[in-house]
Chain A
């Protein structure tokens, strides 16, 4: 069995079974073929992205300030992180954003995709509308949502007033409510984007399977859980990883909506990296924060990857 090399589903890097000689030749041939597939993309990727990123890792052990040399300072940047309260604030805010944003957006975009994955009148229009927030200028989004959130004059609080809520939340002007406000807008903005990815994934669900399940007397919920969800697994994994990375790196939305404020209530890691780098020219320190952000994302991704595999098995 082991000599028949077929690329089945991705599997954990581990000890490969010992192979006979022809098997080894075949493995070598497969390696070569595999590399030819990857190479065209990898050349550009390695030179333009991988090299600078690896450089960044090196820089996180230096006190680099862009100009001149980068003196090696060992783990200084990392020990400084441990006692840096602003970093802790940024880290907690980023976790807050990610923990809420990931599941909510995942469910919302999947629901949208399921609902717009059929032949009905106006489906093209609604899909486009759902995608619109993602392509609308982010400045316009920030301006309009801030207006809607305006504590005194905003329609949202006026509506809450009708429902009997006296003194609605201060939203982007309150340290408590600014993050929920950003989360609402973030989810609203990215829903259509992930919906598109789910729509592409839904095309892979064979209609025959649904038919067979229906013949077996499965209801819509059972078909959803037993047919759609398993077939969507690769897509879901992709969306989850992209969402995770996107949430931990959230930057531009916060920059235009609250600029990290009021106080430090919406300061997130990406913004802190920018502040330390281009604001204060502590690029070595900023690199160390980037490495931490990278490690968090990678750990979460690996966890998702393993969980995904276990579900598939």
Chain B
């Protein structure tokens, strides 16, 4: 028996070593000559998802190939919902693509600590100052990714429903209290006009509330373990639900409401949502999945008057999406890969992305013009202001503690929004969990 046990442990150890041995790219054909220039034609593999409906990858690949015919970009499609799991498995087995797209900021530090990402500080240092979101990929003064896309959250509103209710459009001067009052007025006005649409719709994700609270509250930091600053945001929303100005969380989850249908089918007059929804709404209005109505977007409502008005810079949140280079990439391909990263963040790439309704990392006026020239996009000045002028704080700080903290905050969110736990108690519970599970 004893011998068997030790044999088993031996076997396990061998297996463990075999499995965790640094699984580098099996085809490391570096000639050792230190050649960094891609001489002949190079093919780079890039991970992407939902290629048919997420045209950004193909757009960038084509634009880059047109610029440098020597390099061909081959896209590897992954399932969007299981992206992290699949990429993790591929990296562990050494079969991941040359360029690993960073879908979620919260995993960047994990990949970096695991030695999976190449230092691309030299690429970032040459980028123009207009590129947003680079700080999310900085760890200990070095950069491990280059953003090509930076969504931010705004307030979508349905002009037809505003007119019906007789409420004035947002003008960029709103605080959250103004927004809440408007939601109540809209609900009353719409009911009087014989419509059952509500003033606003806040989707069930934790982001729709916590993202704003963390971005707008001065000195707020989810990694501090102090979550008191969420309280006013929750109190306000719970009051809106109680007043019947927005659907309650329980109804959203039990009836699997989708935000696309709620706003697109005119069930609500306003909706805080990320800028990616612009392209979706335009496409759904064309396909008939959404009604045709007049809409626009305003800057996100603010915490107080200090950041409101079109002469100030409103604060909002959003996480960038970036390309990173697989540390085990073939050495001959490094130069081409860095070239691609630099290109993806450039204004030229931004133009190409804006054409298909994507919010790129570079939002200069020229890019904005392209973006708002898209057929079906709103044309009013406030929408343009909201899209070009904002301070976008990352929702997820780049840290190894982020994932665990967001789990705790998500539990807090569901407990509060379903009415299972009072706000103060839920915040206290979350803070206690943070202390014991994440530590400071």
Contact = CB atoms under 8 A, between A and B. Distances in A.
Within 8 Å by CB, do A and B touch in the complex? yes
Interface in A151-185: 151-154, 170-175
A68 B110 CA distance: 11
Interface in B18-66: 19-20, 22
Nearest to A64: B20
Contacts of B11: 51, 54
B436 A85 contact: yes
B111 interface: yes
A55 B310 CA distance: 59
Contacts of A86: 433, 437
Contacts of B107: 281
A59 B255 CA distance: 41
A66 B16 contact: no
Interface in B91-106: 91-92
Contacts of B128: none
A278 interface: yes
Contacts of A59: 16
Nearest to B20: A70
Chain B interface helix/strand/loop/mixed: helix
B16 A58 contact: yes
A261 B415 contact: yes
B124 interface: no
Contacts of B110: 65, 67, 281
A151 B249 CA distance: 11
Q: Which of B9, B254, B407 has the most CB of A within 10 A?
A: B254
Interface in A57-76: 57-59, 62, 64-70
A119 to B, nearest CB: 42
Nearest to B252: A173
Contacts of A262: 414-415, 417-418, 420
A212 to B, nearest CB: 47
Contacts of B419: 170, 173
A278 B84 contact: yes
A8 B280 CA distance: 67
Given A67-B116, A70-B20, A86-B437, A278 B88 contact: yes
Contacts of A57: 12
Interface string B392-407: 0000000000011001
B231 interface: no
Given A175-B421, A278-B85, A67 B411 contact: no
Contacts of A68: 20, 22, 114-115
A275 interface: yes
Contacts of A281: 88, 107, 110, 114, 403
Interface stretch (A97-105, A142-150, A245-253): A142-150
Interface string A8-20: 0000000000000
A92 to B, nearest CB: 15
Given A51-B11, A85-B433, A261 B414 contact: yes
A275 B407 contact: yes
B15 A146 contact: no
Given A66-B114, A84-B437, A153-B251, A55 B19 contact: yes
Contacts of A52: 15
Q: Which of B88, B110, B411 has the most CB of A within 10 A?
A: B411
Interface string A270-313: 00000100111100000000000000000000000000000000
A67 B414 contact: no
A88 to B, nearest CB: 11
Given A84-B436, A263-B420, A67 B111 contact: yes
Given A54-B11, A68-B22, A265 B251 contact: no
B413 to A, nearest CB: 9
Contacts of A30: none
A152 B253 CA distance: 12
A174 B420 contact: yes
Contacts of B92: 66-67
B403 A279 contact: yes
B440 interface: no
A179 B113 CA distance: 38
A153 B252 CA distance: 12
A49 interface: no
A117 B417 CA distance: 48
A55 B436 contact: no
Given A146-B254, A150-B251, A175-B421, A58 B13 contact: yes
Nearest to B327: A67
Interface string B228-260: 000000000000000000000111011110000
B225 to A, nearest CB: 15
Nearest to B16: A58
B230 to A, nearest CB: 15
B15 A279 contact: no
Given A55-B16, A171-B254, A172-B254, A65 B114 contact: yes
Q: Which 8 A-B pairs have the closest CB atoms?
A: A67-B114, A173-B250, A263-B415, A261-B414, A58-B12, A150-B254, A175-B420, A262-B418
24 contacts: A51-B11, A54-B8, A64-B20, A65-B110, A66-B92, A66-B114, A69-B20, A85-B433, A86-B433, A143-B256, A147-B254, A150-B251, A152-B250, A154-B254, A170-B419, A173-B250, A173-B418, A174-B418, A175-B420, A261-B418, A263-B421, A264-B411, A265-B420, A280-B404
Interface of A: 51-52, 54-55, 57-59, 62, 64-70, 83-86, 143, 146-147, 149-154, 170-175, 260-265, 267, 275, 278-281
